[in-house]
DNA sequence: CTGTGAATGTGAATTTTGTAACAAAACCCC
DNA sequence: GGGGTTTTGTTACAAAATTCACATTCACAG
């Protein structure tokens, strides 16, 4: 099929598919049907086939999908069949947890630069990486070919951090701070806010209680 | 209006509205129109009115919404006008970052219990809280009236952690580990996976490059 | 080499979500 | 205190996403 606009929800689901397929692979399963994958992901099986159809034909009719092949295909479709260099701005509690998280490099997102404005933190080594002054962002973005910026500063500093990143020529920003920021339209911006998961939990739990 | 089923997307947007409204409040703005709020949240203004209509009537025609009142109303609608006691299982890098995060208690999610199975960690104090053996979960869930469980163990341990939590009588689970788990249908389960934001960024950046 | 069974890929039907349009309501000014 | 203005709440409409249904394709057996 190969279409233009891919729904946000499809991208999120593809991430789940990769996760579950990797588990299948670890278990030694070589081939999987959309039906079985669907069950493991708690989605509809035609949903899976439709999601995949945006990018091409990856299955074999009458057989199913070859697990390893499908993982590779999805990764290529998403553009994560290569490494992405990332820079992290704001090395506090969350920033440190992210820098120490092995999964990033395993998934192809290499944290190559760590930036902070606190003179006490600059020069410190975290996970083999030296914390650098945020003023050096423009130089470092070029030097390290950083493409994605991760903002883990306090919310009131997020806009400034974004400005630095944009000025330095970054291509996309993932903002973990709970504040809205503005960037030029050619910069891809993602907000990470997991409080809405807590809100959803609270809402549904209370609603369920209210039912009985 | 007061309807039954609320879209997931609505819950996520309500979280954004609260965030932006809080900023307005800090700036001293008392009244805001759906138009102005919409702009700040990058959504359509009828979207906002529709989202709110699921829960009731909170505005004043010809005037707009009183900022503080609206915050209160949304919070009540979501069920976060009271405190929720949470227990965290797996005090590693991420678990620690969460335990140290002030925003949780500010938003009404009180982290009251921290559990781990590593004997070297049990007894340690993090943010004034003692790390307790996960075997004590059932006792502690009752003692502390825990309602929401947070899983921050390695992925292969997530199911076991979930089993403990469910057995202990928890009502909802937020799973930060990248693995699917199964729980009885009366338990509300949310997955937190911020890699899909990275995937989306990678995908869109590469797509934009491919365009030119 | 043809028939059978299985599971994909896809167009059509359905459901859900989002947007536009407007009548009803509240405020304000004269 | 009535008319004009503004902005909500809601209905009607459009778009998008999901699910259904099935023709199509492939593997394999006989
Ligand atoms: N800690 C968590 O678990 C958690 C969870 C969700 C969201 N967040 C959000 O992530 C952000 C960081 O949280 P945290 O707990 O790590 O906070 P923190 O205070 O521990 O860390 C913030 C860091 O940013 C640095 N900083 C401030 N201004 C900067 C600037 N202009 N340029 C570069 N660095 C700057 C500070 O020096 C500090 O090291 C916050 O916005 C928080 O709301 C945190
Ligand atoms: N670190 C991050 O930034 C980050 C980001 C996203 C997701 N995650 C996910 O969050 C989880 C935790 O990550 P982390 O970096 O903190 O790992 P970690 O290894 O630092 O911490 C895991 C902790 O869980 C404990 N644990 C293991 N089995 C347990 C059990 N059965 N009961 C109770 N405790 C148990 C371990 O003793 C350890 O303290 C992982 O699944 C990871 O993929 C981490």
Q: What is the DSSP string of A64-126?
A: BEEHHHHHHHHHHHHT-SS-EEEEEE--SHHHHHHHT-THHHHTTEEEEEEEE--TTTTT-EE
Q: Is residue B139 part of a domain?
A: yes
Q: Are residues A44 and A95 in the same domain?
A: no
Is the same domain home to A65 and A94? no
Pair B59, B99 in one domain: no
The answer to whether residue A1 sits within a structural domain is no
Closest to A19 measured CA to CA, from A45, A7, A37, A35: A37
Ligand 2 site, residue B154, Cβ cutoff 6 A: yes
pLDDT digits (tens), chain A, 212 positions: 455 789 999 999 999 999 999 999 999 999 999 999 999 999 999 999 999 999 999 999 999 999 999 999 999 999 999 999 999 999 999 999 999 999 999 999 999 999 999 999 999 999 999 999 999 999 999 999 999 999 999 999 999 999 999 999 999 999 999 999 999 999 999 999 999 999 999 999 988 777 65
Query: Which residues of chain A from 63 to 92 reach within 8 Å of chain B, CB to CB?
Result: 78-80, 84
B26, B59 Cβ separation under 8 angstroms: no
Mean of per-residue pLDDT scores for chain B? 94
**Of the residues B58, B76, B94, the one at which a domain ends:** B76
Q: Do A133 and A164 share a structural domain?
A: yes
Residues A18 and A100 in one domain: no
Please tell me which of the candidates B8, B172, B203 has its beta carbon nearest to residue A79: B203
Q: Is residue A150 part of a domain?
A: yes
Domain count, chain B: 2
Q: Which domain holds residue B111?
A: 84-195
Q: Which nucleotide is nearest to B10 (CA to C1')?
A: C17
Q: Note whether A91 and A170 are same-domain residues.
A: yes
| Residues 12-31 of B, Cβ under 7 A from nucleic strand C | none
Query: Which nucleotides of chain C does any protein CB come within 7 A of?
Result: 5-11, 16-21, 24-27
Q: Is residue B94 domain-shared with residue B72, that is, in the same domain? A: no
Residues A70 and A128 in one domain: no
Query: Does residue A89 sit in the same domain as residue A66?
Result: no
Segment B87-101 shows an average pLDDT of 96
Q: Please indicate, yes or no, whether residues A40 and A131 belong to a single structural domain of this protein.
A: no
pLDDT at B2: 53
- Please say which residue of B35, B56, B76 terminates a domain: B76
Strand ranges of the sheet holding A84-89, from the earlier edge strand across to the other edge: A125-126, A129-133, A109-116, A84-89, A148-151, A172-175, A188-191
Interface mutation vs chain B, best among A100, A127, A198, most B CBs within 10 Å: A198
Query: Is the CB atom of residue B77 positioned under 7 angstroms from any atom of strand D?
Result: no
Domain CATH for B23: 1.10.10.10
Q: Model's pTM, two decimal places?
A: 0.94
Are B146 and B140 within 8 A, CB to CB? yes
> What confidence tens digit (pLDDT) does each residue in B174-198 have?
999 999 999 999 999 999 999 999 9
Helix (H) or strand (E) holding B190: strand B188-191
Same domain, A13 and A68: yes
CATH label of the domain that carries residue B101: 3.40.50.720
What is the per-residue pLDDT for A95? 96
- Same domain? For B120 and B174 the reply is yes
Q: Evaluate whether A201 touches B172 at the Cβ level (below 8 Å).
A: yes
Is A87 in contact with A112 (CB distance < 8 Å)?
Answer: yes
Cα distances from B163 to residues A100, B92, B119, B173, in angstroms, run 28, 19, 20, 11
């Amino acid at each position: 099929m190969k279409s233009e606009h891919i729904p946000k929800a499809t991208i999120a689901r593809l991430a789940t598919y990769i996760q579950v397929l990797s588990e299948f692979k670890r278990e030694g399963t070589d081939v999987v049907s959309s039906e079985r994958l669907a069950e493991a992901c708690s989605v509809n099986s035609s949903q899976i086939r439709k999601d995949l159809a945006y990018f091409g034909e990856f299955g074999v009719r009458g057989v199913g999908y070859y697990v390893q092949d499908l993982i590779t295909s999805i990764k290529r479709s998403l553009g994560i069949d290569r490494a992405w260099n990332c820079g992290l701005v704001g090395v506090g509690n969350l920033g440190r947890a992210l820098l120490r998280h092995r999964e990033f490099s395993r998934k192809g997102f290499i944290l190559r630069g760590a930036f902070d404005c606190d003179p006490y933190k600059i020069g410190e080594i975290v996970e083999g990486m030296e914390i650098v002054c945020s003023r050096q962002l423009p130089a470092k973005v070029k030097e390290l070919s950083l493409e994605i910026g991760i903002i883990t500063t306090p919310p009131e500093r997020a806009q400034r951090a974004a400005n630095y990143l944009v000025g330095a020529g970054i291509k996309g920003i993932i903002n973990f701070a709970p504040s809205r920021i503005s960037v030029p339209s050619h910069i891809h911006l993602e907000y990470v806010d997991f409080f809405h998961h807590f809100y959803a939990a609270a809402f549904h739990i209370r609603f369920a209680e209210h039912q009985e």
